[in-house]
Amino acid sequence: MASVEQTRVFVLHQRPYRETSAIVDFISEHHGRLSVVCKGLRGQGKAGMGLRANLQPFAELSLGFAGRSELKSLRSIEALQAAPRMSRDTLYAALYMNELLLRLGRANEFCQDIYSHYRNTLQELCGLDALGRQAGTASDGERSARSHNVEVALRKFEFALIEIMGFALNFEYTCDTHEPIVSAQYYSYFAGHGFQRKQNAAHGEVFSPSQVAEQTQALVASGEILALLATGDFEKPEARKFAKRLTRAALHPLLGERPMKTRELYA
């Protein structure tokens, strides 16, 4: 009989398996992504109800599992914390993170770093919700600020994943000539390679607001925006807009052609 292993996990997804069971996908602290058969999870008896009560998304769990194949068997499950209350924005953001981790083919190679960033980002999202509940009825400005903070938390998570998976973005030097990136120039991003100076952007050239918006759509940004992203500064709307498109392009080689479902909802 295979020995039982224990690890901390979060539920990413579950799907029906046979009559009353389910296969649950977890992100784990020490074993990467795990697929575990949970017998009776969809059953009507007390055992099934107990499993469903514990297997809540976004709550950290202690999982006992066994098995030598890729599909493991559940031996024990214990909730280490209650499932958090989440607003619409934070729920969609958390679901997007789950889908990202399900789609990353090499997640098992970097399990501990990914797990840590996932847990920390979840805590940050839940903290934003807690602040919102303490404040009571929010003004339009407060709701906008919370939405901004949720977006920034997602971008930081995406940048961390890109770096962990070996595709770290170099905001300091161009990828072709290795020249320092400077504020006065504009740079194009090439997925899997990095930034190159835009050839038709002369030193000191000034772009109009409409041209800047057009450049952002084309994955071109000023060295000033790249410097902000290098330090994690997302205050400027142009920086947030470019960061969103940049992470999407940088993640594309890792995720493949199939569109992200939760991206349509939030990201």
Q: Are residues 59 and 90 in the same domain?
A: no
Angstrom CA distances, 185 to 139, 142, 235, 249, 250, stand at 39, 35, 21, 21, 21
Domain that holds residue 101: 85-267
Strand order across the beta sheet in which 220-222 lies:
194-197, 186-190, 220-222
- What tokens appear for 12 in the block? 């990413």
Which of 79, 108, 134 terminates a domain? The answer is: 79
Q: Are residues 118 and 158 in the same domain?
A: yes
Residue-level pLDDT at 65: 97
CA-based nearest residue to 195, from 215, 177, 217: 177
The confidence score (pLDDT) of residue 215 equals: 45
Say what the pLDDT of residue 107 is.
55
What per-residue confidence (pLDDT) applies to 125?
95
- pLDDT tens digit string along 199-220? 755 444 544 444 444 444 469 9
Q: Are residues 9 and 131 in the same domain?
A: no
pLDDT category, 124, cuts 50, 70, 90?
A: very high
Q: Give the Cα separation of 251 and 103 in Å (integer).
A: 10
Are 59 and 91 a contacting pair, CB within 8 Å?
Answer: no
Last residue of a domain, one of 37, 61, 79: 79
* CA 152, chain centre distance (Å): 11
Last residue of a domain, one of 32, 52, 79: 79
CA distance 256 to 250: 11
Higher pLDDT, 128 or 261: 128
62 and 89 housed in the same domain: no
Tokens for 199?
A: 């050839």
Which pLDDT tens digit goes with each residue over 43-73? 988 888 999 999 999 999 999 999 989 999 9
- Are 95 and 60 part of one and the same domain? no
Residue whose token pair is 């772009």? 207
- The answer on 99 and 10 residing in a single domain is no
Measure Cα distances from 44 to 21, 49, 57 in Å. 11, 7, 20
Listed residue (113, 96, 122, 117) closest to 32, CA to CA:
113
Mean pLDDT, the chain, rounded, equals: 87
Nearest to 187 by CA among 217, 222, 218: 222
Record the pTM: 0.86
> Residue 29 is part of a domain; what is its CATH number?
2.40.50.140
Same domain, 66 and 180: no
Structure tokens at 69: 């194949």
92 and 73 assigned to the same domain = no
User: Does 52 lie in the same domain as 144?
Assistant: no
Residues 243 and 134 in one domain: yes
The number of folded domains in the chain is 2
Residue 76 tokens, joined = 């024990």
Do 32 and 145 belong together in one domain?
A: no
18 with 143, same domain: the answer is: no
The burial of 221, by beta-carbon neighbours within 10 Å (0-12 exposed, 13-18 middle, 19 or more buried), is given as buried
